[in-house]
Amino acid sequence: MATSTTTILVLHHEPDRYFETLCARFPEVSFHSARNDIEVAKQMAECNPQVLLSFRCDAISTKAQTMAARESCVQWIQVAGAGYDHIGDLQQIACPVTNCAGVLSRFQAETVMGAMINLNFGFFRYQQQQQEKMYRKLPWRSLEGQKLLLIGLGHIGRAVAINAHHFGMHVTAVRSRVQDSPDADEVYTQDRLPDLLPKADFVSLHLPYNEATHHFFDAKMLASMKKSAYLINTARGNVVDEEALISALREASIAGAYLDVFSEEPLPQSSQLWKLGNVLLSPHYCDSVVDWHERFAGFFADNLDRWLAGEKLHNLIKP
């Protein structure tokens, strides 16, 4: 636990927005930051931090994050976000790990709902017509009564379900075990997916990424979807077999997709996804409201209070 010389290393390429606030709130703690791989290695060697605040960001590689997480000096890791695949295999990390699940859930759910509205009404098609100065009316039907299949019912999945119910959608959820949920109309386990996918108008993925979920949503599942259905992935890129998805979109075997995450990030210029007219793309930023840095830092500060006092941490994912 905490010592009289508690040292904390923040792994993030843009710490300026909240770093001084953390220092002012905890004057007895020594804060340091690393903005890239070289700085991570340097700070780990010089500071021997007991605590890591780890942001997933392009400027710091998974290799550097994993190296830092496995150092023996580290006694606790706070992940700034819900996903933690960027720090490597949890089984190889000796200390407690917590995440920020729930902090930005309602914002991500807001984006998912916006994507469903866009895809359903056809705003993206009207934008294409606008570029061509084409005045043509496209048929559409209300979201009311349409079926949303959520694969994953954690903080984000539940927030999406609440939003969808406001629009009168029927919400079915798939999770690791069946249990009553006030947020979904029906809850099943993954073995029921072959029956559920052909009935869904929208399929939204909310799974963590790990070895078990790599390419979880594959060509077989895509082939099970209705031709008029849409896929939404705001979880992790490699939860979906991206090549199979590109084929399904190109062949119009599904109506379209909204993707915020990709198998390789940033999305390469060579990706076929850029060229497809039935897909909406955003750069892994769907929950990143303007003050997201401060929200994560604020959650970390509250947890740091608990850690310094020897109390149980919130959002413990690895005891």
Query: Rounded to 5 degrees, what are φ and ψ at 11?
Result: -100, 95
Cα separations in angstroms, 202 against 111, 225, 227: 14, 9, 11
- The residue from 236, 243, 251, 294 that is catalytic is 236
Indicate if 32 belongs to the active site.
no
CA-based angle 240:56:63, to the nearest 5?
Answer: 90
Indicate if 186 belongs to the active site.
no
Q: Which amino acid is at 314?
A: H
CA-based angle 19:67:78, to the nearest 5?
Answer: 40
Indicate if 155 belongs to the active site.
no
- Residue 272: count other Cβ atoms within 10 Å of its Cβ: 14
d(CA 77, CA 123): 42
Say whether the peptide bond before residue 49 is cis (omega within 30 degrees of 0). no
- The residue from 265, 295, 311, 314 that is catalytic is 265
Cα separations in angstroms, 80 against 52, 145, 239: 10, 36, 20
Sign of the C-alpha dihedral, residues 183, 314, 66, 90? negative
d(CA 93, CA 76): 10
- The residue from 35, 155, 284, 293 that is catalytic is 284
The catalytic residue positions are: 236, 265, 284
